[in-house]
Structure 1
């Protein structure tokens, strides 16, 4: 009798039906849980990833400015800063960025005196103290140039995750390099960047936020 019921499509015992449904519900809830955890992980990375990356940028350095004065990471403390890496023989990116930085300082008004701007060479073989001094005369006098021997400069470039590469041979070579301007807070920590030729209104909004701390 029991076998005939199964063969003619009568209802199966409750246990035979509930078990697959129960397993299906478990699998469904596991899928939902994994999806929720995935969204949460993505949101956490979006919230903290930039700060974690920024916290790994920077470190000790010891260089010389265009007046022959020593400058170290301690000089980045107590005021917001902009730091740009380039070289004086750069045909376009560097003079353009330094001119823009000069304009930013003027646009900030009195607050411009609290903002320190550093131009760090990636070409110390040619960018001597004298060369930096002569070159920077064309820009705002509040901009500080930094140079030094290669064995002191390279560790700094590495610490700040700066890309630079010599292109060409002889004396008439060029340098590929990172074009972004680093924004540092009063603790000397990286808090953002200004992209090359970024919209002026966007840049000023970033700088005002940097100045506000």
Structure 2
């Protein structure tokens, strides 16, 4: 293969790898798999975030302006989640502590992908559990409202099973949004509090 062709092929591979750099880990029958990467514009900015209208744990209607003026960690999950959601929330609590004074500029938003069971009161009770981040904002809504919010954030979820014992497969990525409501970076599941704090702090320092 001519040298020019080799270089062009290598460049194409690098471009594809960059486009798929932000991925979503999805819980499937107790195992992890990699889901579709976030779409990327020509500027390299992932198309994550957008308009939504949901209800918080106090029964108040909120929209995307909730993100304005604060750094926000946005996470999609559900209160019946047996492992991944409580683990992520506990990790966020540790991050909150490690950030120190910077934590006052950061809000944590838990969006339920199980509106059938996760009422505002259910979210309020769940998020008040010991070991979870203080002041976490819980959001739910109608099935259509939740679907629209998840689509805006490229968050995957699906119902598994029937009857009262059903569960939800869902993506595990935590999205860090800036005070302007725009996506800054993704925090992958399982990084641990130290690495997660470093990623968030670096993004906050960059502005």
Establish whether residue 137 from structure 1 lines up as the match of residue 137 from structure 2.
Answer: no
CA displacement 1:77-124 (0-9 Å, x = unmatched)? 222211111001111111111111112112111110101110000000
Greater alpha carbon shift after TM alignment, 183-192 vs 81-90: 183-192
Q: 1:168 to 1:43 in 2, by over 3 A?
A: closer
Contact 2:109–2:137 (Cα < 8 Å) also in 1: yes
Q: Tell me the distance in 2 between the aligned counterparts of 1:171 and 1:41.
A: 48
* Secondary structure at 1:108 match in 2: helix
Contact 1:54–1:189 (Cα < 8 Å) also in 2: no
Alignment counterpart, residue 195 of structure 2, candidates 195, 202, 209:
202
Give the structure-1-normalised TM-score: 0.77
Establish whether residue 174 from structure 1 lines up as the match of residue 167 from structure 2.
Answer: yes
Q: Tell me the distance in 2 between the aligned counterparts of 1:189 and 1:134.
A: 29
Q: Which residue of 2 aligns with 1:193?
A: 186
Structure 1: gaps of 5 or more residues = 1-27
* Secondary structure at 2:176 match in 1: strand
Q: Tell me the distance in 1 between the aligned counterparts of 2:141 and 2:148.
A: 11
Structure 2: gaps of 5 or more residues = 22-39
Q: CA RMSD in A?
A: 2.2
Contact 1:80–1:210 (Cα < 8 Å) also in 2: no
* Secondary structure at 1:151 match in 2: helix
Alignment counterpart, residue 4 of structure 2, candidates 18, 25, 33:
33
Structure with the larger strand share: 2
* Secondary structure at 1:55 match in 2: coil
Give the count of matched residue pairs: 184
Q: Tell me the distance in 1 between the aligned counterparts of 2:64 and 2:178.
A: 13
